[in-house]
A = this chain, B = another copy of it.
Amino acid sequence: MSIEVPNDVRYIESVIGLIQYECRLLDFPSRYCALNLPVALSEALSNAILRGNDDDPEKAVNVSLSATTQSIVIEVRDEGPGFDLEASTHDPADPANLEREDGRGVFLMRALMDRVEQFDDDGNVVRLTIGRP
């Protein structure tokens, strides 16, 4: 399954709706469909739209989902140059971060998925993988 949407955060909720639907069709645990996937995907999408694509309304974001009986793999592609996943992960347990408004996205993505990978492929791609428990 793949979806291309305009570079606008208002689309995030309905893209997630489609992925949640797929998650339930595949009979993954309800927590994965209600928490892990939607939150991780919201982070990846808002970063793609606001960071990678710099909130530019002329750009687009691509989401693809592929699933096996054992795992769901979601790729989010923006038109930006990519970023350093390690350097962008901030520990919210650090007291200096606790009262910050931002900076929890990449951390949450990694905490909620089994694997998060970043690679460049004519733009930036973030790949999220979660396995059946």
Contact = CB atoms under 8 A, between A and B. Distances in A.
B14 A18 contact: yes
Contacts of A18: 3, 14-15, 17-18
A25 interface: yes
Interface stretch (A4-12, A71-79, A94-102, A115-123): A4-12
A77 to B, nearest CB: 13
B10 A25 contact: yes
A2 interface: yes
A14 B18 CA distance: 5
Contacts of A25: 10
Contact of A11 (B11, B14, B15, B21): B21
